[in-house]
Chain A
């Protein structure tokens, strides 16, 4: 199946990957697959509001059918997450099934189940990569967000992986107000265990919405992060998480595009397909892998994905001279902070995001919340619509930002 835009394009020579990706591909390059909502931790910023298993989660047989589809579509790899994916009793079975079918697996874990045995098994498989999540370089900073004992658990897992000879696994850090001062500490920690450091952006998704205001880096810290990335860029993976920081001057490596529904998506534990792992909300729900056409049908025919693959209108950002490269930032970050999708990112380096966030408080706008919540608590949340906003230019800024993030599922991928 080929979208009309694609046919038109074929007579031009594409110069960059990003041009090819803007209109979407017949199959994702990679996708995020959250295997379960069950989790042994309860991180305050969990993007998927995980905690309890959902009884409707895909069965082993259904999960294998999804892997068969991914193989047929030649999806290069899946980012497996959760919840804590290793809590699924068939986790190892699915991992072996995927890699035997040449679907690479990169999975995120808090490390609780990475025993010496598990580490040896992982080290022996060329098609597996592991990301250990840690959000502080010291126990106090980490455990405040991820829970008591979680630092020691993660470090033990890293030691087991290193002892098993696993090279270049990832130490995965969500950058927050509290850990930006610890960037060197993270790099040392990664070096100590032969891991590669991966830094990503905190997005106001899931429970992350509740803590984003207090946890997201201040604008001064964004500058610190930018300088640090410039100095250490070659050794650190970010995907495109921090492209919006390129406005400070030199651009950071990565792809310059929101990949949601174009080259990436999310399959959640019950088989729902969302445009992006940071966009678990009805507005971004494209279908379910249990639908008659399966995952392939959702990817290729969903109305929502079709819309996302048309060139975006800039809205309030269109008048910004940096729009070409920045494209207004992250759709999910705007949505879950109650900002209009065609306006600036809440962390817009020109300061427009902060202005619109401030206005939001004045007019009493409520931010939308996901209806999907498996936290170990029960109160449902209300949702309301976004706010309007008018943009003005700041004449004192001349350097162009590149883009905000392209998309997190690609974080860690290297483009050449």
Chain B
């Protein structure tokens, strides 16, 4: 996988715990025992709304991510998918 498909539905893995922090958030995956962090609060908002948004693009828009910022959010999501923190969801 090169980058995530922004037009499909995604979700946080059920074994991932999200802890908001002043800088963004810490994510811990109980299955892989991997720890990672989100660099800003808007990415946290995106990640949290994935479950209810029809697509990742919609989740970004709802969190106030502008079109010119989409690329960097897409690469952040791609990294999260690679580490199984975020997984595909069938709407």
Contact = CB atoms under 8 A, between A and B. Distances in A.
Interface string B9-38: 000000101010111001010111111110
Given A74-B17, A102-B17, A126-B30, A10 B35 contact: no
B19 A74 contact: yes
A17 B22 CA distance: 13
B48 to A, nearest CB: 14
Contact of A415 (B17, B21, B36): B36
B36 A413 contact: no
B18 to A, nearest CB: 8
Nearest to A7: B22
B31 A416 contact: no
Contact of B33 (A7, A14, A102, A412): A412
B35 A416 contact: yes
A69 to B, nearest CB: 14
Contacts of B37: 14, 17, 20
Nearest to B26: A29
A323 to B, nearest CB: 25
A295 B91 CA distance: 42
Given A76-B17, A76-B28, A102-B17, A413 B22 contact: no
A27 B19 contact: yes
Interface string B31-60: 111111101100000000000000000000
A6 interface: yes
Contacts of A20: 21, 23, 37
A413 B17 CA distance: 15
A29 B23 contact: no
A414 B39 contact: no
A29 B35 contact: yes
Given A74-B17, A127-B30, A414 B23 contact: no
A25 interface: yes
A378 B50 CA distance: 59
A209 B22 CA distance: 40
Contact of A10 (B23, B31, B32, B34): B23
B3 interface: no
A51 B83 CA distance: 41
Given A9-B23, A74-B17, A416-B83, A129 B34 contact: no
Interface of B: 15, 17, 19, 21-23, 26, 28, 30-37, 39-40, 79, 83
